[in-house]
Amino acid sequence: MNRIELHNITKRYPGCIANQSVDLVVAAGEIHALLGENGAGKSTLMKIIYGVVKPDAGHILWDGQAIAIKGASHARDLGIGMVFQHFSLFETLTVAENISLSLPPKTDANMEALKARILSVSERYGMRLDPDRQVHSLSVGEQQRVEIVRCLLQDVKLLILDEPTSVLTPQEVTVLFRTLAQLAAEGCSILFISHKLDEVRALCDTATILRNGKVSGDCDPKVTATSDIARLMVGDETPLNENYVKAEPLDSRVSRLMVKQLSARALDAFSCPLRDVSFDVKSGEILGIAGVAGNGQEELLNLISGEQTSAASSVLFDEVQVGRLGPAERRQLGLGFVPEERLGRGAVPNMSLQDNTLLTAYQSGLLSAGGWVQTNRVVSYARSIIERFNVKTAGVSAPAKSLSGGNLQKFILGREILQNPTILVCSHPTWGVDIGAAILIRHALIALRDQGAAVLVVSEDIDELYAISDRIGAICDGRLSPIDSVSKVSIGQLGQWMAGDFNGPELSGVTAASQQNNERELSV
C-alpha cells in the first residue's frame, strides 16, 4: 500500500517554477530519499506535503484517498510529522513542556501521564529522554530526539526529516539510523532529505531526485553508484572530481594563526565558556575542528574574528598579537571570515550582491582608489564572484535574500577567497549545500591553501572534514581535543573527542555525549 502519492504537483512563484509536474510515491514502511541541488524544489515540495504551501496544480492521495492538506495542524492530524533542519524548540522549557505544545489540548491535560508516555516511547525507540530536562541543557542530538519523539507521540505515519544528520556525532547517526529502521519495520514511512549520498545509500530503499523543479530520475540507492546519483542531481556539466590532495609535510611550515591558552567566560546562560584552548594553523594547511553545535565553536570564532576580544597574546596572526584588535584591523592583517549565519552576519538580506561585496572588501584596495569607492570595480568584482563560483542569481543587483542558501554561501565564500586572505576562517562552509556546490567550495579552499594561506574550517560535517583537512581535532564543552593528521585519527576516535572523551580508548558504541552535557558548567 502506498502511504502518500503526489501527482503532477506544480507550484509557481514570481519569476520561477519551484515544482513542475512532480510525481512522488512513498510506500508504507519505506525509507524514501528526496535529493536535489540547492534550489531544486525539495523544500517547496515538503511544505506542500506538510500543508504549509498550497500547490497550484496536481493532486495528493493519502492512504489511497484524494485529499487537500489544509495546514500543518491538518497534516499532523493525518499522521504526517516533520523534523526541520532548524529545530523549533523553546530552550527555557522542559522536554515535556515543549512536546505538550504540539499536542491537542485534551492530550496534554495530565502532564504526569505525558511524561510517562515520553519515557515509554523514547525508550522503545532507543532515544531515551528525561521529560524534566530543560532543552537548553540538551545536546543537539538530544534536541533532535525531542523533535522525533514529539512526532511519534502523534501516531506518525509519515515522518519527514530535513538534513537530520548534519548536527550529529558519528555515534548519534548510528543510533538515529537504527531508530529509523525500526520505525520503517513497524510501517511508518520516512522521507529523508540529505546531501550526504553515502548515508542515503546506506539507509534508504528508494530515491527521487529533483533538478530545476522537475523529477530527473528515481533509483534504488543501494545499487546505484554515488556518482550516478550525483549526475542526476547536478547534470553532466558540473565537475564531480573529489581528489583532494593532502598537504605534506607540515612540520617545517610557519604558523600563521596561533591561539594560545584562550579562555573566555560564558556571556549568557546559553553560551559555552572556552577553557584553555591552544592550537595553530600553518601556512598551506587546512585544519578541521569538529564538534556538535553549542560546544564553544561560536565563541571561538568570535574571538578569532575580533567580534569578541581577549588578552592580546591569546590570538596571533603571523606572530602579531591581535587579541585586542577589532574585526576591521584583523582583516587588514589578512583575515578572511565566513560566518555560520549567512543572512544577517554574512550578508545583509535587503542589500544587493553588489553592495554586499563592500561589507568586507572595501578596505582591501580592490574596490576603491584615493579613499573613494569605484562603482565599476565593485560591479566587476561582484560579477567575478558570480562567474567563478557559479552563483545562480538574476545579477549583481539582486538582493542577498533572493538567493537560495547554497548560492548565497557560494557568494559569501567567493567574496572572501578572491581577496586572497593569508588566513581564512570558515564556519560550516558547505552546510546545506548540494554536492556540486560543495565540491566547488572544497576545491576553492584547497586552491587557497595551496597558495600558502592558513585555513581553519569549523564544521559538523565529518565527511567533509576528513576530505579536505590536513589535520583534525574536535571541540566539546569549550575544550579542545588533541590535534593530529587525519590519517592518524579514526572516525571512532573523532566521535569520542566530539563527546568530550579526550583520553580514553576508542569505543565502537555510543559515547558519553549526554553525560558531558549534563556536567556542563555555564560559567568559569
Indicate the pLDDT class of residue 260, thresholds 50, 70 and 90.
Answer: very high
Query: For 13-26, what is each residue's pLDDT tens digit?
Result: 877 899 999 999 99
Indicate the pLDDT class of residue 205, thresholds 50, 70 and 90.
Answer: very high
Query: For 447-497, what is each residue's pLDDT tens digit?
Result: 999 999 999 999 988 888 999 999 999 999 999 999 999 999 998 899 899
Other C-beta atoms lying within 10 Å of the C-beta of residue 244:
18
**Residue of 328, 289, 337, 324 whose CA lies nearest to 475:** 289
Q: What angle do CA 284, 290, 295 make, to 5 degrees?
A: 130
Query: For 418-430, what is each residue's pLDDT tens digit?
Result: 999 999 999 989 8
- pLDDT at site 510: 36
Query: For 129-145, what is each residue's pLDDT tens digit?
Result: 899 999 888 877 788 88
Q: Is the pLDDT confidence value at 511 over 60?
A: no
Indicate the pLDDT class of residue 58, thresholds 50, 70 and 90.
Answer: very high
Please, are residues 430 and 437 in contact by the beta-carbon 8 Å criterion? yes
**Residue of 358, 259, 350 whose CA lies nearest to 305:** 259
CA distance 452 to 456: 13
Please, are residues 233 and 212 in contact by the beta-carbon 8 Å criterion? no
| Strands 65-67 vs 423-427: parallel, antiparallel or unpaired | unpaired
Indicate the pLDDT class of residue 88, thresholds 50, 70 and 90.
Answer: confident
The Cα-based distances of 204 to 162, 219, 224, 234, 438 in angstroms read 14, 10, 12, 20, 22
Please, are residues 224 and 198 in contact by the beta-carbon 8 Å criterion? no
- What stretches of 2-81 show up as alpha helix (H) in DSSP? 42-49, 72-78
CA distance 409 to 389: 10
Q: What pairs with residue 5 in β-bridges?
A: 25, 61
Non-local CB neighbours of 265 within 8 Å, separated by 6+ positions? 273, 523, 524
For residue 124, the SS3 value is helix
* Mean predicted confidence (pLDDT) in 65-69: 94
Q: Is the pLDDT confidence value at 519 over 50?
A: no
CA distance 245 to 224: 27
CA distance 259 to 7: 56
Q: Is the pLDDT confidence value at 108 over 70?
A: no
- pLDDT at site 514: 34
| Single-letter residue type at 62 | W
**Residue of 350, 392, 360, 357 whose CA lies nearest to 378:** 357
Structural domains in the chain, sorted by start: 2-234 (3.40.50.300), 254-334+424-524 (3.40.50.300), 343-420 (no CATH)
| Single-letter residue type at 483 | I
Question: Grid cell 567533509 — which residue?
Answer: 464
Q: Is the pLDDT confidence value at 106 over 60?
A: yes
- For 342, the grid coordinates are 549567512
Q: Is the pLDDT confidence value at 509 over 50?
A: no
Q: Is the pLDDT confidence value at 513 over 60?
A: no
* Mean predicted confidence (pLDDT) in 215-227: 91
**In this predicted model, which residue has the larger pLDDT, 516 or 378?**
378
Indicate the pLDDT class of residue 115, thresholds 50, 70 and 90.
Answer: very high
* Mean predicted confidence (pLDDT) in 54-71: 94
Query: For 380-433, what is each residue's pLDDT tens digit?
Result: 999 999 999 988 888 999 999 888 777 888 999 999 999 999 999 999 898 767
Is the pTM here over 0.85, yes or no?
no
For the chain, the distance separating the N- and C-terminal CA atoms, rounded to the nearest angstrom, is 57
- pLDDT at site 281: 97
Please, are residues 471 and 288 in contact by the beta-carbon 8 Å criterion? yes
* Mean predicted confidence (pLDDT) in 348-364: 90
Q: In what order do the strands lie in the sheet with 31-36?
A: 80-83, 158-162, 189-193, 31-36, 206-211, 214-219
Q: Is the pLDDT confidence value at 109 over 50?
A: yes
Q: Highest-confidence range of 152-156, 209-213, 244-248, by mean pLDDT?
A: 209-213
DSSP assignment of 389-404 equals: TT--SS-TTSBGGGS-
- pLDDT at site 521: 32
Non-local CB neighbours of 66 within 8 Å, separated by 6+ positions? 59, 60
- pLDDT at site 419: 93
